Amino acid sequence: MRNEESQEAFLPEESSFVGKEEVGSAHASRKDAVGGAPASQAATSRAFRASKSARGTLGIMSYVLSAIAVLAALGFLLAVGLNGRFSSVAQGQASRDAPAPAQAASTEPAPNSPPATTSLPAQAVPVLTGVSEKRPAPITADAVGRVESMASITVRTRVDGQIAKVFFQDGQAVQQGDVLYELDARQIDAQIHQAQAIVAKDQSQIVQTKRDYARNDTLAKMNAGSILNLQNAQTAEALAEASLLADQAALDNLLVQRSYYTITSPVTGRVGIGLQREGSAIRTGDASGTLVTVNQIRPIYVNFSLPQKLFSSLQSANARGGAPVEATVQGSDVSAEGKVAAIDNSVDSSSGNIGVRAVFDNADEGLWPGLLCNVTVTLGHDEETVIVPRNAVQSSQDGNIVFIVEHGVARVKSVAVDRFEGATAVISSGLRGGETVVTDGQLRLTEGTPVTTLQDKRRGGG
């Protein structure tokens, strides 16, 4: 009995869901059974243990049911909250998508009325415009040319020696005959002095032989001297004159060599960067003999090529005094005007082009040897033709077109382009002149598109 009471004490309070009355009756029954028979006592003990087991099972079930109830309540609350949120979102979307009652009523057609067709007016497209002009236009041909000096001379020494003095700065402009280098000429000067002395001696010898010849001639006429002495005097005079000529030639040779010791500019132009400086020993047989290069800058050539189909027009224009040529240095605004100076005597068989050379005064030295130039040759003039800005011409599947503006809308005109002249296009047919043509904004235009126009100030309208 003491063990059973200790076990009962360890049961949790929540499991004793039986009333106090039942506990009391159970204790009374146990007290009455103390004095009973052993069999009844055993039966009572088993009944009591069965009742405790039942109470433990009920307690566990109570815990499980309580947990299930709590989880169910939480799930219910969560489901109610999410459902309400989703319902509000769906209602808001439906309210945005659904038309207003008045609008739905207004858009619903009447039973017997035809469906209404409403269209917004087309928006005007802003464009830039120019004006086509009917006027004379030059016939030109474009090419790429290279500037070439009329004379490019490499100055070399003609004698061995040492540079005594340099008389120019690198890149300096020089005139023909200006001294560039002076070599050490002390040795050649001494040789010249020696040769001059020999010539002077020969001249004195001639004076003596002339005097001897005159005396022997006088004696021979007076029959006071022999003819042989006269003849010997005559021979001595001739030998002295010949010796003078030889020695004078040697002196002249030395004087010529002496001129090589003063090196001058062969042409008017500009010197390059000097390769040798003062004190340098130079020789005629190796690289040290190359001193500097002088290029003639004014006037100057530009060489270029033209297709052979233009040969006849080029010849005709050149026969009228030289076809005008304009050369613009690539990458800059520097330009010069000249004329065709020569046409090559054959056409290049591989390219079909013919070489042309133009000459320019180049007073401002804007053209420099080796520069690349864009060359424009004027071959003639068209008296009457239609000119439009080059950007006004567009390509389509049917050929070239131009958008013109008439009464505030765009119209498409098919045109035939004869040629392009710089920033302009020469139209052979399709325009009469005076039309307002679109130069920018054509990508948004079709036939009949309304436009708002703005004068294109970047071009002069042709």
Q: Is residue 238 part of a domain?
A: yes
Q: Is 148 a member of any domain?
A: no
Q: Per-residue pLDDT averaged across 60-79, rounded?
A: 74
Q: Answer yes or no: pTM beyond 0.85.
A: no
Q: Choose one of 294, 313, 344: the last residue of a domain.
A: 294
pLDDT of 342 > 50? The answer is: yes
- Number of domains into which the chain is organized: 5
Per-residue pLDDT band for 51 (boundaries 50, 70, 90) equals low
Q: Report if residue 253 sits inside a domain.
A: yes
- Whether residue 289 sits in one domain with residue 166: yes
Contacts of residue 135, Cβ cutoff 8 Å, sequence gap at least 6: 384, 385, 387, 462
CATH number of the domain bearing residue 166: 2.40.50.100
Structural domain range at position 227: 185-260
163 and 288 share one domain: yes
Answer with the one of 86, 104, 138 that is the final residue of a domain: 86
Position 67 scores a pLDDT of 77
The model's pLDDT over 355-394, given as tens digits with 9 standing for 90+, comes to 999 999 999 999 999 999 999 999 988 888 899 999 999 9
Query: 412: part of which helix (H) or strand (E)?
Result: strand 409-414
Q: Which of 296, 276, 301, 302 is nearest to 287 (CA)?
A: 276
Q: What is the DSSP string of 291-313?
A: EEEEE--SSEEEEEEEEGGGHHH
Q: 462 or 239, which is more confident?
A: 239
Percent pLDDT > 90 in the chain is 53
pLDDT for the residue numbered 256: 95
Asked if the structure places residue 450 within a domain, the reply is yes
Q: Are residues 178 and 290 in the same domain?
A: yes
pLDDT at residue 219, as a whole number: 86
Is 100 a member of any domain?
no
- Write down the mean pLDDT value for the chain: 81
Residues 166 and 279 in one domain: yes
Assess whether 240 and 164 both reside in one domain: no
Is the Cβ–Cβ distance between 162 and 184 less than 8 Å? yes
In-domain check, residue 228 = yes
- Alpha-carbon span 158 to 288, nearest angstrom: 11
- Residue 118 domain-assigned? no
One domain for residues 167 and 276: yes
- Which pLDDT belongs to residue 458? 66
**Is pLDDT at 193 greater than 80 in this prediction?**
yes
Contact 55/18 with Cβ under 8 angstroms? yes
Mark whether 196 and 233 lie in a shared domain.
Answer: yes
Share of the chain above pLDDT 70, in %: 76
- Do 165 and 284 lie in one domain? The reply is yes
Same domain, 319 and 278: no
Please state, in angstroms and rounded to a whole number, the distance separating the CA atoms of residues 289 and 270: 20
Examine the fold and report which residue of 328, 354, 381 is the final residue of a domain before the chain moves on.
381
- The radius of gyration of the chain's CA atoms, rounded to the nearest angstrom, is 61
pLDDT, tens digit, for every residue of 288-341? Answer: 999 999 999 999 999 999 999 999 989 999 888 889 999 999 999 999 999 999
Q: Could you tell me if 256 and 307 lie in one domain?
A: no
Let me know whether 195 and 253 are in one domain: yes
Task: Kindly state the tokens that stand for 105.
Answer: 């009523």
Q: Let me know the angle formed at the C-alpha of 27 by 23 and 32, rounded to the nearest 5 degrees.
A: 145
Q: Which two tokens stand for residue 92?
A: 């808001």
Q: What is the pLDDT of residue 45?
A: 54
CATH classification at residue 423:
2.40.420.20
Residues 28 and 38 in one domain: yes
Which whole number is the average pLDDT over 170-190? Answer: 95
11 within a domain of the structure (yes/no):
yes
